[in-house]
Amino acid sequence: MKAQRSRLSTTGAPPLHTAELSRLTIPNRIFAAVYASLVLTLLYHHAVTLASLLFQYNSTTTTTKISSLFISTALLISDVVFAFMWATSQSFRMRPLYRKEFPEKYLNNYKGKKYSEEFPAIDVFVCTADPYKEPPMNVVNTALSVMAFDYPEEKVSIYVSDDGGSALTLFAFMEAAKFAVHWLPFCRENDVVERTPEAYFSANYHSLSPETQRIKVIYSISITYYIHTT
């Protein structure tokens, strides 16, 4: 069983992704129904056994009756717990989907102001608390990589939450704002894929062109040097 669907564009451009329903959907549901009936039967058996032990009037000794009650109760509780764990794991098996993305369609059809309204506005929160446990360099690189998203600029809002109120983190972002003036245009003009400055400059697969060297020097001076010497 296959069902394919895609998010249609209101402007007639090709879809950016498709969703295909897994062939295992129906077998998963049949198995879940059979398994659930067996689990309910087992729980019913435990309940009947426990009730018969509680209300039986025979020559069974008190010690034997107490141990039987304890064992039956323990089995009932354990099976209830396992049944709950199994039930909570079935949600993603009821309708599994396989998605396929088409980034090349975005590059060819969705760039430019014509299709900017196709994309929803997104808010990105970058949270930090302790500059010693979460170095400002890491937080700054995270924010810069988000700012360099290949996404309409007016649709992206970035918020930085510093619970520790660190002056060092504040200073790092002041320097990062200056560096972003150079970094963001560089990413867009050169179609940079690795948009985290630290990871980009530490990699050796890109060409060290004069422009790349210039941006690297600015990064080293404006952020790395000042943060490491503060």
pLDDT tens for 69-107 read 888 888 899 999 999 999 998 888 888 888 888 877 766
End-to-end CA distance of the chain: 62
CB 46 within 8 A of CB 27: no
Instruction: Map tokens 């970058």 to a residue.
Output: 126
163 is in an annotated binding site: yes
Which parts of the chain have pLDDT scores under 70? 1-14, 56-61, 106-118, 204-207, 224-230
Listing from the earlier edge strand, what are the strands of the sheet with 4-6? 4-6, 17-21, 97-101
Structure letter (DSSP) for residue 120: P
In the chain, where the domains are located: 23-94, 120-229
191 is in an annotated binding site: no
133 is in an annotated binding site: yes
CB 131 within 8 A of CB 164: yes
Global pTM value: 0.54
Type and span of the H or E element at 211 = helix 210-219
- The rounded Cα 39 to chain-centroid distance in angstroms is 33
